[in-house]
Chain A
Amino acid sequence: MSPAEQARPLQIPATLDAKFVQLIGRYPIKRSALIPMMMYAQDYYGFVGDDVLAEIARRLDLNMTQVTETLAYYSMLRRKPMGKYHIQVCTNVSCMLRGGNETLAHLRKRLSIGHKEITPSGTFSLEEVECMGACTGAPCVQVNYDYFEQLTPILVDELLEQLQTGMKTKPVACTTGSIHERHELEVPVISRRFGIENSRKIDVYRQHDGYKALEKAVREMTPEAIIDEVKKSNLRGRGGAGFPTGMKWSFVPKDSPKPKYILCNADESEPGTCKDRPLMEHDPHQLIEGITIAGRAIGSKQGYIYIRGEYRYVLDIVDAALAEAYAAGYLGKNILGSGFDFDLYTHTGAGAYECGEESALMESLEGKRGYPRIKPPFPAVVGLYGGPTVINNVESLSAVPSIILRGGEWYAGLGTPKNGGTRMLCISGHVNHPGIYEVPLGLNMKRAIEELGGGVRDGKKLKAVIPGGSSCPLLKADEIDIAMDYDSVAKAGSMLGSGGMVVIDEDTCMVDMARRIMHFYAHESCGWCIPCREGTAWLRKMLDRFHDGGGTSEDIPLIGELAQNMLGKTFCPLGDAAAMPTISIVKKWKNEFEDHLKGKCAYRPANDLLVLA
């Protein structure tokens, strides 16, 4: 008899039981509820024990292997309890540049515990985590689901004090840097409601053009006309790959025996990127409206918003907005009397960067390990549950209502040819004004850093820029006088990516930068294909050793060569994402690698990185 069988049936408390029932009801296939159920169970019990897991398996008709292996994949899910306050410290690039490592060191010292350890009283536990989407509020920590940003040791002490004494803490109400005075370079389109009081409420949204686009789309436009309008807008996917959105929609077969799905990729986790978070927290209805219009365009009756597990408070905001939208008749049966039915739900992730890859996201949404799928077939033909599926980033879908309302040509005109509209630019790192700015495509990168970001802080010189998330090749200070559109940045040898721009000053050690970036990809590699699984792990160890002064002259070309051997050969783009920045750093800052051969790191001293496990 298996241990799980011997376990007594578990009494699930009523609230959790109701949540389970609600979750299971959201999906055509029960297994899809697995990850959300484990997350909510963990919220209740503090961890996912054998008995809970067995109960979830029972409810979903799964066996123990299936639930165990799914749980094992996601970094937020745990089999053992953590502290009452689980403090998660980000040390990824944006936070690292602004004191993430120091925050972690301070916490380790104050709590006398290390990575994934618990204080004897069980009050605190500590974990070094990857980018949590608070890059413009760096350095940040998350205590359970609460974000605390722009931390200093004094603020950390205050926070610990509050937690310890049971005082009310003050987590950030919204993403730091998302609300600020508008700069003249900005063209607020999708962020135009940021800062309006109660902007996330449906009434406020409706006072500001809300749901007019949907009315137009369902009453006046055919699905083809919607797709044409989006095509005209030259909107390109804002998740990072920049694929034309209208074209993606047009690939969906009109007649499909299987239900079609529209998925919103809100698994924002590209280091340096924190734009989807404010888009959802300030203006969830804009996103809901965009998704519903997309559903109408492709003939889908069902959509899901896959939100990364760390963004729980954002998910709650979106859930509340969804409830409002249902109540107002913008979702559900016969929307606005048009005969169009559309259901939309949120779905929580559980800690896996790979699930931002569209096919891995679909696997994850089906309640499995987030492994990418073989392509072709592409999602537009065979996607979620085998049905044709469109999957778009939050920012792309948020642009849809404006495009429908004001026309594709108007939107296209905001940007440069073939690069329509505006995009959210997250400037983090060593700048005076980290923040999230909505700018037209084609804005000069140098101007953005100097004028929007306020230039490099403390009067330091610029050394490097990550143009759009840590997967992009880094640009040197003299390579940034370029227009920020997909094609110009590509011409400069990098990518516009996800809009997560990280500014790096002259004191920063680029070996350290390469090392931190590789730590991230090694941690997030799903393990499916050999070159990424082994390559990222190898490079991580090698860069650790190299930075610690254990490098040899043979290592320098080998680092580049190993990255090159991964490039273009991995199953999904994660391997490329790990290889590209590494190759660019070794090539452009080879001198810094050579300097390390002479002894200790001559640049800004960095704290030891923990081996993330």
Chain B
Amino acid sequence: MAELKQINFTINEQKVAVPAGTLVIDAAKRMEMEVPSFCYYKGLSLQAACRMCLVEVEKMPKLQTACTLTATEGMIVRTDTPQVHDARKNMLEFLLSNHPLDCPVCDKGGECELQDMTFRYGLDHSRFNEEKLHYPEEKWSPLVYYDAPRCILCFRCVRVCDEGMDVKALGVGARGVQSVILPNTSGALNCEECGACIDICPVGALTSGTYRYQTRPWEMTYVSEPCTHCSNGCKTTLSVRNNEILRANNRDQSGINGEFLCGKGRFGFDFTNNAERIRQPLIRRDGKLSPATWEDAFEEIARRLKQVRDKSGAASIGVIGSNHTTNEENYLLNRFARLNLGTNNLDHHRTADYAGLATALGANTLPAQATMADIYAANNILVIGNDPSQQNPLVAWQIRTAIRHHNAKLFLINSQPTKLERQSSLTIRVPAGAEAAAVRWLARGEGNFPEEITGQLAKLKETLEQALDAVVLFGAAIAGQAIRDLFTFGSRLKASTRLMALGDYANSRGAADFGVFPDRLPGYAPLSDAGERDRFSKLWGGEIPAAAGMTAKQMMDAAGSGKLKALYVVGANPVKTFGAKKSDKLGSLDLLIVQDLFLTETAQRADVVLPAASSYEKDGTMTSTSGELQMTHRSIDPQGPRSDFDLIRILSYQLSQLGMGPAIRLRTPEAALDEIRQNIPGYRVSAANLMAGGAERTGAAPQSTENSYSVPEGAIFSSQDSLFSSGTLGRYCSRLNSCNEAKEKPWSSSPNIQSWWYR
């Protein structure tokens, strides 16, 4: 790209060079000179409405708004003159004329931009002696409240909803001083309930139904960590008081998501103190799950596991891991299954074929996989078999922003209508299940499609062949050979092509990267590779069985047929995931151990249930679907439940006492991370950046030359979560569920998407 021309100009007598096209407000910010503003908001369209950023420009008779003023050669700007200060003071005086001066009881008190600016630039008294306008507060949804008198009409909410979210649920009513913000359906919102309008509001006009009037911002502590719901890895800052999470947002715009969060990230934290949370171990006695001590629970588990192993052999024990547990926990679980239980029957619900991606990319993994930032930077984005607006909200945000900020082109291959179609350059509708065939057509020209689709695919291929770059995102339908086809297609393009597999849950990628598989060790090392087995045997200090184990689905079937005698389920709900009807078969298990937050359909059938901590309640790391690694922290004490890390570690000790494998000596997640960083290819990352709250790119991929890989039948399928569902966990997010929209079908599959009001 050609180097942008530099513009030399002067701010406050300091000479500065900025790229052509830079706004004075941004240039001043870069020089750490404050130019206050309400309506100017980076990334959103310009307004020049609040008039707070007025500055003096030499040779211009009137003050100019720095937010719309592009720096020009030789321009002389002053932001700190008496005239400018007066203007700010006057604007604040106007703003406060109808604004309630009840900061002590306002929900925004302490973090209000108007309060801060008045403190800094405003008058110390009011000259407004007239009656203030008043309107009653409105409840727009269980999550969003609007208090019109506080609204300063900066229109940030309207813009973020329209431009940022492409929801367009907010407008402006009336005009002049009576202007108010208007929700889309007569006094109420019908939208994605993302809550972006609340967080972007500089004052206390838009408040959160989950947080409002409960606390003051300075009474809370703030813990930043990746969201525990979908796989996108948005950083959410949890606001905690008295061991309770009161709010989640990301106002500091750190993280791979900037300030973006969807409703789950913003409001889906209340499962932590849901009344149905399991707080102590349960053991089935006389057919009923009854509270037990930790000691009893661990002893019961160890004793009965040994019984099963001695009687039926280690191959009759299975482990189903989680999409929510941390990398360290997955790493431990892997070791625990292979060494302590001696089984390779280890799997999880796979929602994307990360293993397929890793084997297809191999040594190219790091450069060839896309990050969230790559989506934003891309000029061409292809989405295959996924609805990011519902399933991967950050991905959708990145796509929308790329289109909005630099006219990126979007291409869709989907069997269902999706919201992103409104912005796509080309939408190719293929029959359900034919997504992989479409990829095969692109890569090899094979396959039979109706002429119309063939024409569209040819057009897409032609466009991408001319493209400067491309990011290809794909859902569960693209697996195994289809990913290899995609990679082949991508490598034949002129420009670099980056891929991203779109999975469903917070650490689906981590479960895969850390080998919660019957045939893969951490880092996708093939179990069949004796060298890799040897490497891990040495590292872990125990023998790894060689024969590949059963997949999750096979384990569920084997549990039914009696082949499997014991099943250890960590943070998963296979009864629900793999079909409720088949669940009756679990009855033939001798032992079912479940560790989870809630008494899930699976836990209800368990012999022993261990209460587990959520990712908001423990330390560790998680890997987003884009392979970006972030640290999660213990923001609150779960009071009762223990982290899966501790539970697995203690169980390994218990089993070691009975002669089943070595005890895990890694006492903390940090220690486990150290071991991971040293031993797992693709995870040799900077710990400093992680600890500072940053995201590190990872690229776990098999180092082995033995690269055969095929997708096990029926192993990979999406949970089809929407913006209002999040697997089993989502059922316990009561505030999110209280929204009307949560009761509707996901928009992607509802005819609403075609309807006129949601355009």
Contacts and interface: CB of A to CB of B under 8 A. Distances in A.
Interface of A: 2-5, 54, 57-58, 61-66, 68-69, 72-73, 352, 369, 374, 522-531, 533-538, 541-542, 545, 558, 565, 568-571, 613
A352 B63 CA distance: 27
Contacts of B131: 541
Nearest to A375: B68
A529 B131 CA distance: 21
Contacts of A524: 176
Instruction: Tell me the dominant secondary structure on chain A's binding face.
Output: helix
Contact of A534 (B87, B129, B177, B182): B177
Residue among B128, B170, B177 facing the most chain A CB atoms (10 A cut-off): B177
A570 to B, nearest CB: 7
Nearest to A523: B176
A352 B51 CA distance: 23
Given A531-B51, A565-B93, A565-B94, A66 B168 contact: yes
Nearest to A538: B97
A527 B186 contact: no
5 contacts: A3-B185, A62-B756, A72-B182, A525-B175, A538-B94
Contact of B48 (A73, A369, A374): A374
A-B interface, 8 closest residue pairs, ranked by CB to CB distance from nearest: A69-B171, A527-B179, A537-B177, A541-B130, A534-B94, A565-B90, A65-B171, A525-B176
Interface in B97-154: 97-98, 127-131, 133, 152-153
A85 to B, nearest CB: 26
Interface in B587-642: none
Contacts of B174: 72-73, 527
B50 interface: yes
A131 B512 CA distance: 72
B91 A63 contact: no
B95 interface: yes
B172 interface: yes
Contacts of A4: 185, 757
A65 B168 contact: yes
Interface string B152-193: 110000000000000011111111111100111110001000
Given A525-B175, A527-B176, A57 B90 contact: no
B62 interface: yes
Q: Which of B51, B63, B68, B131 has the most CB of A within 10 A?
A: B51
A13 B186 CA distance: 26
A530 B175 contact: no
Contacts of A525: 175-177
B426 interface: no
A531 B97 CA distance: 11
A2 B184 contact: yes
Nearest to A537: B177
A181 B52 CA distance: 54
Task: Specify which of A3, A4, A527 lies most central, judged by the most chain B CB atoms within 10 Å of its CB.
Answer: A527
B186 to A, nearest CB: 6
Contacts of A613: 178
Nearest to B38: A530
A546 to B, nearest CB: 10
Contact of B184 (A65, A545, A565): A65
B121 to A, nearest CB: 13
B46 interface: yes
Contacts of A5: 755, 757
Given A66-B168, A72-B175, A542 B130 contact: yes
A533 B179 contact: yes
B417 to A, nearest CB: 16
Most chain A C-beta atoms within 10 Å of own C-beta, residue among B62, B178, B757: B757
B285 interface: no
B757 A569 contact: no
Given A57-B757, A530-B91, A570-B51, 15 more contacts: A3-B186, A58-B756, A63-B757, A63-B759, A72-B173, A369-B175, A523-B176, A524-B176, A525-B177, A527-B176, A528-B49, A545-B130, A565-B93, A569-B54, A569-B63
B68 A536 contact: no
A571 B97 contact: no
Contacts of B61: 568
Most chain A Cβ neighbours within 10 Å, of B46, B87, B175, B177: B175
A5 B744 CA distance: 14
Given A72-B174, A536-B177, A565-B90, A65 B169 contact: yes
Interface in B413-471: none
Nearest to A62: B759
Most B CB within 10 A of own CB, among A66, A524, A558: A66
A1 B186 CA distance: 12
Interface of B: 46-52, 54, 61-63, 68, 87, 90-91, 93-95, 97-98, 127-131, 133, 152-153, 168-179, 182-186, 190, 755-759
Contacts of B758: 63
Contacts of A522: 176-177
Contacts of B68: 374
Given A58-B756, A69-B173, A530-B152, A569 B91 contact: yes
Contacts of B190: 2
A503 B48 CA distance: 37
B55 to A, nearest CB: 12
Contacts of A565: 90, 93-94
B176 A537 contact: yes
Contacts of B95: 530, 534
B176 A530 contact: no
A536 B173 CA distance: 18
A58 B757 CA distance: 8
B148 to A, nearest CB: 12
Contacts of A369: 172, 175
A541 B133 CA distance: 11
Contacts of B178: 527, 613
Given A374-B46, A529-B51, A65 B756 contact: no
A576 to B, nearest CB: 10
A536 B97 CA distance: 11
A536 B176 contact: yes
Given A534-B177, A535-B94, A527 B153 contact: yes
Contacts of A570: 51
Contacts of A374: 46-48, 68
Contacts of A571: 48-49, 51
Interface centre among A352, A529, A535, A570 (most CB of B within 10 A): A529
A371 B597 CA distance: 52
A250 to B, nearest CB: 23
Contacts of B169: 65
B759 A61 contact: yes
A530 B98 CA distance: 11
A529 B756 contact: no
A433 to B, nearest CB: 36
Nearest to A570: B51
A65 B177 contact: no
Contacts of B153: 527, 530, 533
Contacts of B46: 374
A36 B181 CA distance: 24
B114 to A, nearest CB: 11
Contact of A69 (B47, B62, B182): B182
A561 to B, nearest CB: 9
B689 to A, nearest CB: 40
Nearest to A73: B175
B51 A526 contact: no
A539 B450 CA distance: 69
Nearest to A369: B172
Contacts of B179: 527, 533
Contacts of B50: 529-530
A54 B755 CA distance: 12
Contacts of B130: 538, 541-542, 545
A568 B177 contact: no
A68 B97 CA distance: 28
A73 B173 CA distance: 7
B51 A530 contact: yes
